[in-house]
Copies of this chain bind each other. A is one copy, B any other.
Amino acid sequence: MGLIGGSIGLAVRERLGADVTGWDPSPGVLDAACAHGALDRGADSIAAAVAEAEVVFVAAPVGQLPATLAEVLRAAPHDCVVTDVGSTKRSVVAAIDDPRFVGGHPLAGAETAGVEHARGDLFQDAVWYLTPTEATTGTGFERLHRALRGLGARPTTIDAATHDTMLAAVSHLPHVVANVLVAQAARALEEESEQLPATGPSFRDATRVAGANSAIWTDIYLANRDALIERIDDATRRLAEFRALLEAADADGVTAWNDGARADRQRLLEAQLAGGPLHELRASVPNEPGVIARLALELGRAGVNITDMALYPAPNQAEGVVALWIAGDEPAERALALVEQLGFPVAEA
């Protein structure tokens, strides 16, 4: 029941009007969470906390997740959906083989810690990654997706390994690099026995996150070390490439390298352009395990973001309709084509 757990409790109570029971290894923290309004009640044990849950959020440190999740899943109802909020997904998804579990990671609140900083609006407009596998139960996944939308978040389905690589590339490595930049600047300045008269906006931008809260970031770096080491190796290779161009005084090479970065930045910016008109697609899907998850994963892989989702089981229970809301004409077209390719009849509503 820290910042994230506490904020989830507050948000669920405020925005979903649902009943929330919580547990924390520390009775003091559990009491504080209740006092803060994050919980309707505290329970004496994990089993007691989850016995009647429809949705369970597990906010333990990444290293403890496999054990804690296993305990939760032992006691949770058979139709419950269980998720975590850890900043890396590969290891936890590999450790848990249960159709009720969906890995999750909200992009929110890495600056402070503790339930006293918890806020019900913490997840408003926040991307919330979900990493279902082909084993994941569709109804549970849909319930979780819907709940997150209710908290104001933007659930985004992605493959666990891709998640970790991407976070390493766009968050963890930039933090590491910010630290490297301030350290080399501080040492260079000391050696030259000069104070730094002025740093420009490029230095301030590049080092804004240097020395971020170790209590949080040490765990993040270590939890994601495989993907982060890969990114560090890539960055080191590129620095060596550029160094060689400099040493050879290769002006054309330097210009090409620079222009390549401009093109890359442009592509990244374009990839983030959100919005566009909302299209509702309806697909007929068999009522088989993993179908919904597979659909969501394939769409995610193709870069189509599912803004919203609803399931409508048919009376015969053998099949059902899944409604998907997709923002943007082009993504919606791609989604239509993709769902057809997967073999499901689909049409725009």
Contacts and interface: CB of A to CB of B under 8 A. Distances in A.
A342 interface: no
B176 A239 contact: yes
A204 to B, nearest CB: 9
Q: How large is the interface on A (under 10, 10 to 19, 20 to 34, 35 or more residues)?
A: 35 or more
Contacts of A206: 174, 177-178, 205-206, 209
Contacts of A291: none
User: At the interface, is chain A mostly helix, strand, loop or mixed?
Assistant: helix
Contacts of A205: 174, 205-206, 208-209
Nearest to A303: B195
A337 to B, nearest CB: 16
A237 to B, nearest CB: 9
A333 B228 CA distance: 48
A35 interface: no
Given A178-B206, A188-B234, A211-B260, 14 more contacts: A166-B189, A169-B188, A178-B202, A180-B239, A193-B301, A194-B300, A194-B301, A195-B303, A205-B209, A206-B206, A207-B265, A211-B263, A229-B247, A232-B246
The 10 closest A-B pairs by CB, nearest first: A211-B262, A195-B303, A179-B261, A186-B264, A174-B206, A211-B261, A127-B198, A170-B203, A162-B192, A214-B258
